[in-house]
Amino acid sequence: MRSPETFHLQNAPLLPLLVKELWEILSGRALWTMLLLMCPLVGYSFFQAVSLYGEASAAGLQSPVLANSLSPLDGILVPTLGASYVAVTLLFPFVAIRVLGLEKESGALRLLVQMPYHPSTLIAAKLVAVVAAWVLSSIPAFSALAMWRLFGGHLSAPETLNLLFGHLLYGSLVGAIALFAASVSESAATAAIVTLAFTIGSWVLDFTVAGHPGLLEWVASLSLTQVLRTFEQGLLSLRLVAGIGAAMCGFAALATVWLPPGIDVRNKLVRSIVCVLAAAIVFGLATQIRLSIDVTEDQRNSFPVADQHALASLVRPLVVTVHLAPEDPRYVDLQRNVLAKLERVLPNMSVGLAGGRQSVATNAGDDRYGEVEYNYGGRSDISRSTSPREILPVLYGLAGASRPAPAPGGDYPGYPLIVRAEVALLWFFGGLPLCIALVWWRSRRLPINYRKPTKEAQP
């Protein structure tokens, strides 16, 4: 008789598993249907973005001052990929659930879990297939970017890659949630409801609690839609990347725990708690990472270079106390124009709201409302401005440093472009869907004159 150690898990080749997962996701109608739906969705967004950009460019071509506000990141990339985001939120869960849900429903999972792969390997392979599906589903968005270049439009590689990376992370996170949902649910329909509860629930969070102070603000920050905002601003935040990575690994680990059918529910619950705690710890550690990179061509998230260097030398703690309500537009301006930039460059800075959960209404009679107090090295000063032009001299004054001379050159030129984009509509409403339908039909064709299995998955 053969010994029990006939083979070991680590000896199993991964390639057949990956090939199987990719074929499974390619064979389903969900991916191709989503692709076909995305063509007009992304295409029309792109067409509108190009048209609006062209209208704005008409004024920009007359004035260099107006031209330098014309950034393809804001004008073309964000709205075009925004349409892709909507489709990923609403449709991608159905594609991702398929990689596990069908196996559960058909009973094939009972074969798969007996095969020489660890459950974590099975989930990892499925996640790879989900990422591949995201790449395929982004074909309309990729073709929009290519068309923009063909029109003569400008694309900054760091901005574009950063934003695409953000969308990849978002798609992967939705995929990981879908795998977890498919793992805990008995049917694909239930899994879809669970996943949509996360994705559409994020929208609800945004609409209902965003802009509120305190706990509600923290809850709103957990929304999945927050994932993309930093990337859309042109920032590559390691805190965000690590946080999303922790969340993805957490959901993948939970999917792994709930995958094997031979473990009782109590055991799975205990393991799930361990996974959630581990993910929460990693998530908490990730929030401590402050490093972020401004990848925008116009460096909109940074002060001028000379100021960046000068501010980086301020090593003592800077404490900023803001006498504004979080929903006050002045606070939003201050945050965007000054505080966010300071947090990126100053190693030791803290910001606090005076009065905690104050609001505009309750502070109407407060004389100090609107003040921002800066405390550095035991000295303090107060300003009501939200502009770095006025605040930076205050900080230099507190630090006893002189304001550096601005470095010459390096101004962002802006990229005005007037172009008629009707041809894009033809492509997205006709050419691209036709190409996708042809590839779909081609992928559905069965092998002819088959006599023996292909060697594609053979060692």
d(CA 185, CA 225): 24
Q: Which two tokens stand for residue 8?
A: 């070991």
Q: How far is the CB of 171 from other proteins (least distance, A)?
A: 23
CB of 268 to other proteins, least distance (A): 10
CA dihedral 286, 287, 291, 295 (to 10 degrees): 90
Pick the closer one to other proteins by CB: 267 or 350. 267
The secondary structure of residue 149, as a DSSP letter, is: H
* Distance in Å, CB of 301 to other proteins, minimum: 47
Task: Read off the DSSP letter of residue 431.
Answer: I
Cβ partners under 8 Å of residue 79, min gap 6: 45, 46, 48, 49
* β pairing state of 318-322 and 349-353: parallel
Q: How far is the CB of 109 from other proteins (least distance, A)?
A: 9
Nearer to other proteins, 253 or 392 (CB): 253
In order of 215, 232, 297, 333, 340, the CA distances from 235 in angstroms are 25, 7, 11, 18, 11
Quick one: 12 or 249, whose CB is closer to other proteins?
Answer: 12
CB closer to other proteins, 151 vs 440 = 440
Phi–psi pair at 79, nearest 5 degrees? -65, -35
CB of 131 to other proteins, least distance (A): 20
Alpha-carbon dihedral of residues 238, 239, 241, 247, nearest 10 degrees? Answer: 160
Beta strands at 292-294 and 318-322: parallel, antiparallel or unpaired: unpaired
Nearer to other proteins, 261 or 409 (CB): 261
Q: Give min distance, CB of 194 to other proteins, in A.
A: 23
Q: What is the DSSP letter of 76?
A: I
Q: Which is nearer to other proteins, 61 or 112 (CB)?
A: 112
Rounded to an integer, what distance in angstroms lies between the CA atom of residue 98 and that of residue 195?
A: 12
Distance CA 142, CA 47 (A): 14
Nearer to other proteins, 17 or 147 (CB): 17
Task: Return the number of the residue (14 or 285) whose C-beta is nearest other proteins.
Answer: 14
Instruction: With beta carbons less than 8 A apart as the criterion, state whether 364 and 358 touch.
Output: no
Q: How far is the CB of 276 from other proteins (least distance, A)?
A: 22
Neighbours of 284 (CB within 10 A): 11
| CB closer to other proteins out of 17 and 227 | 17
Q: Which CB, 115 or 150, lies closer to other proteins?
A: 115
User: Rounded to the nearest whole angstrom, what is the least distance from the CB of residue 262 to other proteins in the complex?
Assistant: 4
Round to whole Å and give the CA distance between 207 and 200. 11
Residue 237 · residue 162 · CB < 8 Å: no
- Residue 14 beta carbon to other proteins: minimum distance, rounded to whole angstroms: 9
d(CA 147, CA 46): 10
**Could you tell me the smallest distance in angstroms from the CB atom of residue 24 to other proteins?**
7
Write out the residues near other proteins by the rule CB under 8 A. Answer: 1-9, 11-13, 15-17, 19-20, 23-24, 27-28, 102-103, 106-108, 110-111, 113-117, 260-264, 267, 446-459
Q: Which of 232, 121, 109, 223 is nearest to 174 (CA)?
A: 223
